[in-house]
Amino acid sequence: MENLSLKLVRRIGDNGDLIGNQQINYSEDELRELYHKMLIARLYDERAFRLQRQGRIGTYPPFSGQEAAQVGSAFALEKGDWLFPYGRDLAACFTFGKDMKTALLYAMGHKDGSNVPDDVNIFPLAIMIPPQIPQAVGAAWASKLKGEDRVALTTFGDGATSKGDFHEGLNMAAVLKAPAIFLCQNNKWAISVPIEKQMATETIAQKAIAYGMPGVRVDGNDILAVYDVTMEAINRARNGEGPTLIEAVTYRVGPHTTSDDPTRYREDSTAKEWRTKRDPVFLFKNFLLKQGIWTEEEDIEIVERLKNEINEAVKEAEITAKTKLTDIFDHVYETPIPDLVLQKEEINKRQLIHK
């Protein structure tokens, strides 16, 4: 059989230097902003993990190790574009405009947890796997029909490629030439199932061939490489050339969620190697230091400032009035249907009885 595997796109080597004779076409401000967004995502993730262990938020899916894939792709979007994230993609959401307070409220089971600013198009986090893929295609197609210059980026893990939504979504997008970008974060594990038990293909990117769209395989821990290939895909989509499938090769260094114990199904030594040798935050920081764009003193200062911002978001979330059970009936339909009205009345009666 012909080898259909695709070459891995990389910009930054393990030593923090640019690979080969490649050039970077970004301003220092852009590079610093990319690092800023990666850093706040990492610090938030570490804090949220601790909050869950303290019983202050619910089950939480950590994403440390995947910041480059998420930030690098979402950073390429423009106002008015759409982001359809999956449950582990808070770094992408923060990059595109979601705030930390509502993210914390979401983890607390609050009705306002999926709120975003009115001018930010972020669909609620997809916990089920992977309904956001065909939904993103629908948004992209609608934008095309309306003559808008908008694209839809949807993100998902390698496990999602084993579901029908993935195949249906890609096929429909290709046929319709919908301006959609499919970003698969191949983090090697779908909960406890390794990628080699999910598919016989060598790569995920090569699946694009069957649908008649470009497939790109990129180092998901190299933020410049992710940003570059996502921008290329977005430009194709805006030019009416249809969708692109991107496979960002990365690694889930933590558990699937805080309810998971990864030591039961994988070697911790592998995760440790990814943490020490290919950590995306440290990799990019090293690059910026070598380029003279960043200093250790700045790093210490910004880490302290961002931790204070996170602390403030935690305080605001924890003093927010909790969601009442009856509130959930008000956020299903614009005009409640009779069944919901009756259910809400029943809940109110029960609460009065138990007071």
Total count of residues recorded for the chain = 355
In a domain, 3, yes or no: no
Q: Is the pLDDT of residue 4 over 80?
A: no
Query: For residue 5, what pLDDT band results from cuts at 50, 70 and 90?
Result: low
Is 329 in the same domain as 314?
no
* 225 against 268, higher pLDDT: 225
The residues, any chain, with a CB within 8 Å of residue 206's CB and separated by 6 or more, are 4, 5, 6, 215
Is 309 in the same domain as 338?
no
Is 222 in the same domain as 82?
yes
Q: How far is Cα 157 from Cα 141, in angstroms, rounded to an integer?
A: 23
Q: Choosing from 10, 236, 252, 278, which is the catalytic residue?
A: 252
The CATH code of the domain that includes 273 is 3.40.50.970
Is 24 in the same domain as 171?
yes
CA nearest to 187, candidates 155, 230, 211, 214: 155
User: What mean pLDDT is predicted for residues 305-319?
Assistant: 98
Query: For residue 275, what pLDDT band results from cuts at 50, 70 and 90?
Result: confident
Is 202 in the same domain as 331?
no
In a domain, 139, yes or no: yes
Q: Is the pLDDT of residue 342 over 90?
A: yes
Q: Is the pLDDT of residue 353 over 70?
A: no
pLDDT in the model for residue 1: 35
In a domain, 2, yes or no: no
Q: Does residue 252 have an active-site annotation?
A: yes
DSSP secondary structure, 204-263, as one string: SGGGHHHHTS-EEEEETT-HHHHHHHHHHHHHHHHTT---EEEEEE----S-SSTT--GG
Number of neighbouring beta carbons within 10 Å of residue 354: 6
In a domain, 1, yes or no: no
Average pLDDT, the chain: 95
In a domain, 36, yes or no: yes
Rounded-to-10 torsion of CA 76, 69, 207, 257 = -130
User: What mean pLDDT is predicted for residues 149-170?
Assistant: 97
Is 126 in the same domain as 215?
yes
pLDDT in the model for residue 2: 47
Helix pair angle (223-238, 280-291), 10° resolution:
100
Q: Does residue 265 have an active-site annotation?
A: yes
Q: Choosing from 53, 265, 305, 350, which is the catalytic residue?
A: 265
Q: Choosing from 110, 217, 256, 278, which is the catalytic residue?
A: 256
Indicate the residue type of 134: P
Query: For residue 270, what pLDDT band results from cuts at 50, 70 and 90?
Result: confident
Is 169 in the same domain as 309?
yes
Q: Does residue 167 have an active-site annotation?
A: no
Is 355 in the same domain as 235?
no
Is 217 in the same domain as 346?
no
The residues, any chain, with a CB within 8 Å of residue 175's CB and separated by 6 or more, are none
Structure tokens at 67: 């910041």
Is 70 in the same domain as 47?
yes
Is 266 in the same domain as 282?
yes
Range of the domain at 220: 8-323
Query: For residue 94, what pLDDT band results from cuts at 50, 70 and 90?
Result: very high
Is 242 in the same domain as 301?
yes
User: What mean pLDDT is predicted for residues 130-145?
Assistant: 98
Question: How many domains does the structure of the chain reveal?
Answer: 2
CA nearest to 72, candidates 281, 205, 226, 279: 226
